[in-house]
Structure formats: structure tokens, C-alpha cells
Chains A and B, each alone.
Chain A
Amino acid sequence: GAVVSQHPSWVICKSGTSVKIECRSLDFQATTMFWYRQFPKQSLMLMATSNEGSKATYEQGVEKDKFLINHASLTLSTLTVTSAHPEDSSFYICSAETSMNTEAFFGQGTRLTVV
């Protein structure tokens, strides 16, 4: 299957700082990438859909000014958590699709801890 690389795999940051998470499709061009958040023992929650060259589409309740998404190329999307707070601590996962009717390939996930 296609490979999606997510970096970093874990990060600890101080409250009030910003953290950037990268999601790269290594062997295919991903016109669409998705960002999810998952709290312990809970299901995946879609945060936003990222389309190359256009603004991301955010799910209801997700603050677009807090979670900045950039999809500058067909192989890279970034999620920046701005002014992070302890309640933002979670497991963030990206996925990419080669076309809209195929399976999603997931990155390894990033565990964010805000102290």
C-alpha cells in the first residue's frame, strides 16, 4: 500500500507555544489529506479536510484559527496547533487518499502533550 509519513511521532511542548505536525505522502500524490484527533479510548474525530492549493475545510466545532492547516504541495500537508493548551493534548493522525473512492492511508500519528 501507499506510504504516508507523519512527523514528529511525539512532541511535548509548553502551554502557549505552537507545534507543527507534518504529513507526507511518500510514493503517491495526495490531492486530499485528512486530519484526525483521537483522545484515549475514543474514536477518530475528523478535524479537517485539506485540499492541495486551497483552504482546508474544517469540521463543526474545530477552530480554524487554532488549528492551521496548509497543503502547499501534492505530497505535504501540515497542521499547526497554535497557542497550545493542556486540553489540546491528544493523538493527531493524518491520512491521505489517492482518489476520492479509494482507501485512506494513515500516517503513524503524533502524540502531543502540552504541559
Chain B
Amino acid sequence: QKEVEQNSGPLSVPEGAIASLNCTYSDRGSQSFFWYRQYSGKSPELIMSIYSNGDKEDGRFTAQLNKASQYVSLLIRDSQPSDSATYLCAVNMRGFKTIFGAGTRLFVKA
């Protein structure tokens, strides 16, 4: 079992819709959870971090964490073509190195 799993996609949504990205992780001791966005040919940039169960909202982005289910998600409201990118879920396990998922490619159609 992979430590951090994501659906590779591509996930295609129309402009203005909600994009839902999901991620599961294997280590129950994980403490910190992150979502990064990576445009083609660029390095990842942090868009959300979440540390406790529940929802965390920042503008059009909402991160959701459920530690009991070992599940973290990212919702993007009012999706824009500029949101088209690969989204990486990352989990910091027990204070050691951060583990990245393989990423989900998102396409927002104008």
C-alpha cells in the first residue's frame, strides 16, 4: 500500500463548478497535511495546510481532514481555467520527512 494515495486523474470540470480532490494516507500517526499546486514545468507551491479534523477554508479553497478515515480532501469552488494544474497531497508523518502523493491532474474547461 502506498503511503499517500491520490487518483491520478485527469479530473475535468467545467468553469465555475466545484472540483473535489481526494487523498488517503496510511500512517495513523500523521500530524500535518498539505495541498500543493504544480503547474507544468514549475515547482510545487503550497496552497493549503491543515492539522486538525474538520474543514479549513481559504478563499475558494477548502481543505477537509478526517483522521479516523485517514482521508484528506481539497475542494475548489468556482473553478477557473487558471486552476488547471496537478495537485499534490502531502503528509508529514510523525515528525519525519513529508511524503507526497503522485498528484491529481485537474483540467478546468472554459
- If the complex has contacts A34-B97, A49-B97, A109-B43, are A103 and B32 also in contact, measured as CB distance less than 8 A? yes
Q: Which one of A43, A102, A104 lies within 8 Å of B102 (CB-CB)?
A: A43
- If the complex has contacts A97-B98, A101-B31, A101-B32, are A109 and B90 also in contact, measured as CB distance less than 8 A? no
Name the A residues within 8 Å of B41 (CB-CB): 91, 111
Are A100 and B43 in contact (CB-based, < 8 A)?
no
> Distance (Å) between the CB of A90 and the closest chain B CB?
12
Are B43 and A104 in contact (CB-based, < 8 A)?
no
> Distance (Å) between the CB of B9 and the closest chain A CB?
12
Name the A residues within 8 Å of B103 (CB-CB): 43-44
Size bracket of the B interface: 20 to 34
Please tell me the number of chain A residues within 8 Å of chain B, measured between CB atoms.
23
Is residue B49 within 8 Å, beta carbon to beta carbon, of the partner chain?
A: yes
CA distance A44 to B90 in the complex (A): 11
Residues of B within 8 A of A (CB): 31-32, 34, 36, 41-46, 49, 88, 90, 92, 95-98, 100-103
